[in-house]
Amino acid sequence: MTYKEPSLQDIQAAHSRIKPYIHKTPILTSKSLDQLSGVELFFKCENFQKVGAFKARGAMNGVLSLTKEELIRGVCTHSSGNHAQALALAARENGSNAFIVMPNNAPVVKKNAVVGYGAEVIECEPTLQARESTVETVMKEKGAVFIHPYNDYNIIAGQATAAKEVYETLEKIELDYILAPVGGGGLLSGTALATKYISASTKIIGCEPEGANDAYQSFQTKQLVPSENPMTIADGLLTSLGDKTFPIIINHVDDILTVSDIEIMEALKLTWERMKIIIEPSSAVCLAVVLKNKTLFKNKKVGIIISGGNVELSKIKF
């Protein structure tokens, strides 16, 4: 297996590049959740990031890594989630155009959000084949550069800056564990690399819904198991690992732990109630893992990357 994962220098360069365009998000703590869990928790709040999610980091690094000629041609991706908005914003802030391929059954609110950031939405049938052929057409016709939501070293280096900020902000507080949710693995692989370089003694745990446990299976079997018919409330974590994120995860992540949707919803409610912050279900997976494994984490210092806060409120029922 040969691959060239981002180096510390790559991550530092990504951070310098994107810093003027992103928020340095706060790290929040909660006495109430610490007491409840028996764990000392540090929440890196990427729900307060631009576009409401860590995806702003990777997309911005992707766009800022383009040549002038590429910027003029524009960028494209397929996503109906946070990466779509993040790429749209990154393109607009750099005088480029973004073309976002979305399934024609994506919620109107998602399309509007992307259009609101000045991007062009191109609809396709809701199949993998239609998506890929539509992206190819857009790349050909518009000359746009494809920026993958996660299986891209620039994206991974960008997402790594969230964990980098955690260690820089906490300074002398040494984390025993850092937890990140895992869908396609961009955030988890970036978190793993930043941790390896900056806080080598901190263990890295990927957190995944049981209903979309392809990363867990891939980690156990050491073979890239694709996500098939995933079913979970954590709708940001449906995708499969990629051939760039998978090796990084295999090599640097200490474990992947899964939780049920009921456990995710309990953790979501607790976070909203006790911390007074809106996080999306995909972000509640990490606290759910902590609460399910209290013995493992007992009295430890645990960092949690809150990946985002984009929720369709009408869909959440407690």
**Which residues form the interface with its own copies (CB under 8 A)?**
26, 47-48, 52, 269, 272-273, 276-279, 309, 311, 313-314, 318
Instruction: Output 1 or 313, the one with its CB closest to its own copies.
Output: 313
CB nearer to its own copies: give 198 or 316: 316
End-to-end CA distance of the chain: 45
Q: Nearest distance from residue 299's CB to its own copies, in Å? A: 22
Instruction: Identify the H or E element spanning 179.
Output: strand 177-181
Q: Which is nearer to its own copies, 54 or 297 (CB)?
A: 54
Q: Which residue bears the tokens 């890929």?
A: 132
Beta carbon of residue 283, minimum distance to its own copies (angstroms, whole number)? 10
Distances, alpha carbon 86 to alpha carbons 62, 158, 191, 254, in Å: 10, 12, 19, 29
For residue 312 the two structure tokens come to 């369709």
274: left (phi over 0), alpha (psi -120 to 50) or beta: alpha
Q: Which is nearer to its own copies, 47 or 65 (CB)?
A: 47
Residue 139 Cβ vs its own copies, minimum distance, rounded to whole Å: 31
Residue 310 Cβ vs its own copies, minimum distance, rounded to whole Å: 8
The whole-angstrom separation of Cα 268 and Cα 285 is: 8
The residue written with tokens 């003027």 in the block is: 20
The 3-class SS string of 203-227 reads EEEEEEEHHHCHHHHHHHHCCCCCC
The least distance separating its own copies from the CB of residue 55, rounded to whole angstroms, comes to: 14
Q: Which residue lies nearer to its own copies by CB, 13 or 36?
A: 36
